[in-house]
């Protein structure tokens, strides 16, 4: 399970305040859950998800959160094999200059993507804001190395965060932007417990994805037995990003 440090991720995407938010835990984020039948399908599901996002959103900046250095190495090895990804690792024992370079590159990519998206919206209503040869800008980070406001560090500004494991503290769910949490098997019970204790609306994914737009704060819950159905996921991504 992930450590509480996952809550340090900060996203640049503003959204309307959720009806489920409370004064003590204001939230304007949208949280999605991908449930995978078995652990061995988890990485395949992540790679398929990234492929669909690349198809729809080009150079979208994405942060992937992991709980350990071993897991970071595993995720980086597989994700780096994708031809449409520009990837940088972020870990606790990284040289300060290298860490600063990774963070600056990611933040600049986020700013550029936001500007490009805004410009595209002024020209035409297009489902894709980047050219076909653009690469996803991805940072894979361990919990211990996340930017810390207490140290005077600027937030990561990830437009989308993929938690490769569920955060263990409910405070991690109260954030801005789009968060996709990947769960395996019995972790679905954790979602039910979260619903009861946090006040968040956690809805199973409806048959018609457009109905999800009625919620400001909701969960996308999909069971994958051997990887995602690409056509179905393409439809989902077009609705949430």
- 101 alpha-carbon distance from chain centroid: 21
This prediction has a pTM of 0.71
CATH number of 116's domain? 3.40.50.300
Would you state the pLDDT for residue 132? 42
Cα dihedral 7, 237, 135, 165 sign = positive
Q: How many domains does the chain have?
A: 1
3-state SS record for the chain:
CECHHHHHCCCCCCCCCCCCCECCECCCEEEEEEEECCHHHHHHHHHHHHHHHHHHHCCCEEEEEECCHHHHHHHHHHHCCCCCEEEEEECCCCCHHHHHHHHHHHHHHHHHHHHHHHHHHHHCCCCCCCCCCCCEEEEEEEHHHCCCHHHCCCCCCCCEEEECCCECCHHHHCCCEEEEEEEEHHHHHHHHHHHHHHCCCCCCCCCCHHHHHHCCCCCCEEEECCCCCHHHHHHHHHHHC
71-121 per-position pLDDT tens digit: 999 999 999 999 999 999 998 888 989 988 999 999 999 898 888 877 766
Paired tokens of 233: 């996921």
In angstroms, rounded to a whole number, what is the distance separating the alpha carbons of residues 221 and 203? Answer: 7
Above pLDDT 90, what percent of the chain? 17
Across the range 4-28, mean pLDDT stands at: 36
Would you state the pLDDT for residue 82? 95
Cβ-contact 22, 199 below 8 angstroms = yes
Structural domain containing residue 208: 4-240
Helix axes 42-57, 69-79, angle to 10 degrees: 50
Query: Mean pLDDT lowest for which of 23-32, 57-66, 108-117, 151-160?
Result: 23-32
40-72 per-position pLDDT tens digit: 889 998 998 898 888 877 788 999 988 888 999
Paired tokens of 172: 């991690």
161-216 per-position pLDDT tens digit: 888 887 665 666 665 667 787 888 788 788 778 778 877 766 554 333 333 333 33
Would you state the pLDDT for residue 79? 96
More confident residue, 231 or 221: 231
Average pLDDT in the chain:
70
Would you state the pLDDT for residue 81? 94
120-146 per-position pLDDT tens digit: 666 655 554 444 447 899 999 886 676
Q: How big is the CA angle at 70 (ends 66 and 76), to the nearest 5 degrees?
A: 65
More confident residue, 40 or 225: 40
Across the beta sheet with 177-184, the strand order is 85-90, 136-142, 61-66, 160-163, 177-184, 29-36, 221-224
Paired tokens of 174: 């109260």
Would you state the pLDDT for residue 125? 52
């Amino acid at each position: 399970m992930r450590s509480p440090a996952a809550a340090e991720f900060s996203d640049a995407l503003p959204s309307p305040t959720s009806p489920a938010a409370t004064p003590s835990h204001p939230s304007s984020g949208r949280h999605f859950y991908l449930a995978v039948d078995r652990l061995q399908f988890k990485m395949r599901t992540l790679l398929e998800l990234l492929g669909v996002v690349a198809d729809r959103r080009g150079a979208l900046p994405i942060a992937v959160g992991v709980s350990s250095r071993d897991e970071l190495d595993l995720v980086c090895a597989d994700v780096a094999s994708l031809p449409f990804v520009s990837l940088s690792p972020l870990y606790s024992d990284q040289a300060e200059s290298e860490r600063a370079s990774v963070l600056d590159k990611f933040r600049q990519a986020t700013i550029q993507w936001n500007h490009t998206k805004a410009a595209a919206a002024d020209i035409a209503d297009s489902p894709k804001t980047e050219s076909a040869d653009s690469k996803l800008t991805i940072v894979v980070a361990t919990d211990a190395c996340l930017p810390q406001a207490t140290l005077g560090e600027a937030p990561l500004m990830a437009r989308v965060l993929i938690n490769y494991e569920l955060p263990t503290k409910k405070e991690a769910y109260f954030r801005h932007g789009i968060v996709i949490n990947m769960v395996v098997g019995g972790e679905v019970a954790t979602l039910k417990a979260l619903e009861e204790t946090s006040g968040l609306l956690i809805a199973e994914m409806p048959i018609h994805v457009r109905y999800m737009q009625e919620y400001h704060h909701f969960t996308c819950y999909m069971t994958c037995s051997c990887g995602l159905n690409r056509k179905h996921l393409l439809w989902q991504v077009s609705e949430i990003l």
